[in-house]
Structure 1
Amino acid sequence: MPAVQQPDPPTTPPWTTTRPNPANVSVSPLPAISSTTIHPTNATISPAEAFFNDLLNQIPLPRWAVYVIFAVGGLLIVICCLCVCTKCCCKEKKKKKKKDEQIGLTGVNGKSTTALIQSDGGEASYGSTKTYRGKLLYSLEYSAALSELTVGIKQASSLKAMDFGGSSDPYVKVYICPSKTKICETKVFKSTLNPVFNEQFSFQISKSALLKSTVVMKVFDFDRFSKHEIIGELRLELCSVDWNHVIEEWQELAEPAQFEEENLGEICFSLRYVPTASKLTVVILEAKNLKSMDMNGSSDPYVKVQLALDKRKWKKRKTSIKKKTLSPYFNESFTFDVTLSQIQRVNLVISVWDHDAVTRNDAMGKIYLGCDATGNQLRHWADMLSNPRRPVAQWHTLLTPQQVNSTLTLKKRIPIPGKLVENSQRFFPH
């Protein structure tokens, strides 16, 4: 019986299912995917890499921590190299600068040289280098009919920064030399190099004295707890001014002159006002750098505290006397009864005196605050009124008694009502 020939197996894999093709679209079978076997190649590792891997495996830290340590170490090395290079470059520049500053002097042997050495101190370099200190806009006007000079302080621009923050607290002092009987101050502007003042000050002066005088405008940097630093000044000789019209111009500030200023010292005191209790408390804290009044170069200072109401002497107190010192420490408190209506009409006069057991006591310096004050004195008084029940302390530079007396012009003491009645009965008996 002949063998029956079996049909060839289907080329379609058994796991595929045949779907009907209603659109009679011819579908070509996918080619068979031949599987290939990938054999890994053995990479050759150098001895250095093998040593480095063994070293890393011996460190008891995670691999990422080791990498971080190496990165930080490398960064520190780079920074150290940069610092060394910068220092070497600076040394080279300094050497070159010193070499350029050497000036040949023709001496006896013709070979002498000297180097220009500039001191860092302000005293040695005074007047040698010009530092830009800013500009000031001012005005001048003279009335011959009234014998009155009006000085206007308009504004300042691009002032020199005196504070660490790159700014200043400027204000301006104005006075006339050589008399210097009246010193005026503008308001203080906080944290600015371009203040706008717009203030005017009047001085009584004759035409003959005007032509021999100089107006001085000094710009200061205000500091509550230390000496105020001067930014710059203007000095104008009034004999060269054309008084036929009002003068208004900008001018650059110059270095302050190191003469004419008489240092009378400074005094620090605090003010406190309680409106509900009508109490004004003045605490005289200390003074420093007072003027020597005795032959031995010292003084015996004490302080008078005086209140003036409506330009009339009203109440006064004084501290104890400190023997043989120019920087006394007092810390003495005085309290006055001042109502809210009176505090707006009161002036406080602080004066430092030198005690003498044989002769008359001498006034060493004076300052006054209150409703008629200006500049730093008015600011201290305003700070006290705007901060009730809180003491406000500040240093003040003492002025000459003549300056304060001519500006304040106090009248005699207010007559006591009892004495008024007694005097009226004496002159007008019933």
Structure 2
Amino acid sequence: MFISAAAVLGATLGTVSGALTLCGLSMLCRNCKKGKLERGDSADPEKAKASILHTLTQFSVQKSTEPIQPQTLLKFPKIYKPKPSVTSPEVINYSEHVVITEKDVDKPECCNKETEGDEEVFAVPRQDSADETPCAVEQSSTMTSSSSVLHPKLHFSLRLNSQNRELHITIIEAENITVETGCEGYVSGCVSASKEQKHSQTVVRKLSARVQWNESLVFALPSGCSTNGTEDMEGEVALTLHSCDRFSHNSTLGTVRFKLADLGMMSDADCWVDLQPPKQLEVTSSAGELLLSLSYLPAANRLGVVVMKARGLQSDKLKENIDLSVKLTLKHQSTKLKKKQTRRVKHKINPVWNEMMMLELPRELLTKSSLDLEVLNQASPGTLLPLGRCLLGLHASGTGLQHWQQMLDNPRKQIAMWHPLYT
């Protein structure tokens, strides 16, 4: 019993002494830490060593008692007024103007600071000044000239060869051409004398505002025309500018006509003439249009004709029955070589055939051959009524001459073109 009590007393004393030792050590550590902090504050800051937490750069902050004003985000720019430019006393009559400075003009306070000290003097015309009248007249004249319609102009020259009885017309260029992009054109010439007509045309070129040809057209004068004196010549010369769009639709842009008796005054001189627009009567006289495609195969001596379609046929002749076909006749001079006819298309005012006909024709006969096409309507069994016809060949005129000439210049190539039908 005595031993157990001594053991309990020793354990209790050991525990109390350990606790007191820990408390003393903690108090000692706190005192040491506090002394170090006090010594650090009393030390000179300039002698302190540089570290990550202490930088060598010292900032000086000045205190101000003035209130801080916020800066405005919007600033009004300085306004500059134009000065009147005067080259001579006659331009501006200063006696009729009132001189005003910027001091007399009311300006906002925000702008006065920017323009202060920069006074500009400018003149303001009076209300009763009449200086605007010449400008108005000039503007009206300018508008009138710009709104005027410009007709195409043709530049050509003439030369008469009395020994060979030939007329040489050189087509130089054309100007003021207004057509759609992609259109092509050419100039055709026709000499009419002693009830005979001679036709010729230039090559086809792409049309623009100005087109140059520099090509000569040679016309053989008829036998009944005298070349000793130009005053005795009877007849006329017609030069026509044509256009052809991408759908092979031909149109006339303008024509110029002059008499053969005037060749003496126009010979050996460059002439600029305004082409007259075509008359509306020429368009209304057509009975419709026929679309054809031509091609010539020199190796096989064959002429291919494709009758494609027709449009704009006269409807007054198609009231009872519509049964349309196309009759084709190949001629050599006045001799008929071959006849063919397409199938009939019923109940369609704009028929489509798309039929190809092959005709045997030697190449040496092409220049003197022609094609005669006629649109027919079968009103009743056994009764054919002609609606219109067109002629193709070197002896034809207009689109018939152009189409035949393009076929000769481009062998083995299909060339399509619209042709007007005439009754």
For 2:260 and 2:149, the matched residues in 1 are separated by 25
**Contact map agreement 1:272 1:280 (CA 8 A) in 2:** yes
In the alignment, does 2:173 pair up with 1:156? yes
Amino acid paired to 2:352: Y
- Post-superposition Cα deviations, 1:9-59, rounded to whole Å, max 9, x if no partner, equal xxxxxxxxxxxxxxxxxxxxxxxxxx96153989x997999xxxxxxxxxx
Q: Which moved more, 1:265-274 or 1:178-187?
A: 178-187
Cross-structure match for 2:403: 376
Cross-structure match for 2:114: none
How do 1:70-85 and structure 2 match up within 5 A? Answer: none
In the alignment, does 2:250 pair up with 1:228? yes
How do 1:216-255 and structure 2 match up within 5 A? Answer: 216-239=238-261, 241=262, 243=264, 246=267, 248-255=269-276
**Contact map agreement 1:367 1:398 (CA 8 A) in 2:** no
| Structure 1 residues 249 and 274, CA gap change in structure 2 (3 angstroms) | closer
**Contact map agreement 2:328 2:374 (CA 8 A) in 1:** no
Amino acid paired to 1:39: F
Cross-structure match for 1:256: 277
Cross-structure match for 2:152: 133
Partner of 2:405, secondary structure, is helix
For 1:303 and 1:203, the matched residues in 2 are separated by 37
Task: Could you tell me which runs of 5 or more consecutive residues in structure 1 were left unpaired when the two chains were aligned.
Answer: 1-34, 50-96, 102-117, 119-127, 402-430
Partner of 2:206, secondary structure, is coil
Partner of 1:37, secondary structure, is coil
Identity among equivalent positions (%) equals 18
Cross-structure match for 2:389: 365
Instruction: Give the alignment's TM-score, normalised by structure 1.
Output: 0.49
**Contact map agreement 1:263 1:291 (CA 8 A) in 2:** no
For 1:319 and 1:269, the matched residues in 2 are separated by 13
**Contact map agreement 2:167 2:219 (CA 8 A) in 1:** yes
Cross-structure match for 1:202: 220
Cross-structure match for 1:289: 312
**Contact map agreement 1:303 1:350 (CA 8 A) in 2:** no
Partner of 2:190, secondary structure, is strand
Cross-structure match for 1:332: 355
- Post-superposition Cα deviations, 1:264-317, rounded to whole Å, max 9, x if no partner, equal 533212235566766543221012234678496998653233344688533221
- Post-superposition Cα deviations, 1:332-375, rounded to whole Å, max 9, x if no partner, equal 2223456xxx2453345141243566888658222324899853
Cross-structure match for 1:349: 371
Cross-structure match for 2:190: 175
**Contact map agreement 2:189 2:217 (CA 8 A) in 1:** no
| Structure 1 residues 183 and 327, CA gap change in structure 2 (3 angstroms) | farther
For 1:199 and 1:273, the matched residues in 2 are separated by 25
**Contact map agreement 2:242 2:254 (CA 8 A) in 1:** yes
For 1:284 and 1:213, the matched residues in 2 are separated by 37
| Structure 1 residues 267 and 184, CA gap change in structure 2 (3 angstroms) | farther
**Contact map agreement 1:233 1:256 (CA 8 A) in 2:** yes
**Contact map agreement 1:186 1:374 (CA 8 A) in 2:** no
**Contact map agreement 1:224 1:395 (CA 8 A) in 2:** no
**Contact map agreement 1:152 1:199 (CA 8 A) in 2:** yes
For 1:365 and 1:161, the matched residues in 2 are separated by 31
Task: Could you tell me which runs of 5 or more consecutive residues in structure 2 were left unpaired when the two chains were aligned.
Answer: 1-54, 63-67, 74-135
In the alignment, does 2:419 pair up with 1:397? yes
For 1:234 and 1:352, the matched residues in 2 are separated by 31
In the alignment, does 2:57 pair up with 1:37? yes
**Contact map agreement 1:349 1:369 (CA 8 A) in 2:** yes
**Contact map agreement 2:290 2:309 (CA 8 A) in 1:** yes
Question: How many aligned positions are there?
Answer: 280
For 2:321 and 2:335, the matched residues in 1 are separated by 33
Partner of 1:377, secondary structure, is helix
| Structure 1 residues 199 and 238, CA gap change in structure 2 (3 angstroms) | closer
- Post-superposition Cα deviations, 1:361-415, rounded to whole Å, max 9, x if no partner, equal 65822232489985332113433x154xxxx2412324769xxxxxxxxxxxxxx
**Contact map agreement 1:135 1:159 (CA 8 A) in 2:** no
1:189 paired residue among 189, 200, 205: 205
Instruction: Give the alignment's TM-score, normalised by structure 2.
Output: 0.50
Cross-structure match for 1:61: none
Amino acid paired to 2:404: Q
**Contact map agreement 1:215 1:237 (CA 8 A) in 2:** yes
For 2:70 and 2:60, the matched residues in 1 are separated by 19
| Structure 1 residues 46 and 230, CA gap change in structure 2 (3 angstroms) | farther
How do 1:56-71 and structure 2 match up within 5 A? Answer: none
How do 1:306-325 and structure 2 match up within 5 A? Answer: 306-308=329-331, 312-322=335-345
For 2:299 and 2:403, the matched residues in 1 are separated by 26
| Structure 1 residues 359 and 213, CA gap change in structure 2 (3 angstroms) | farther
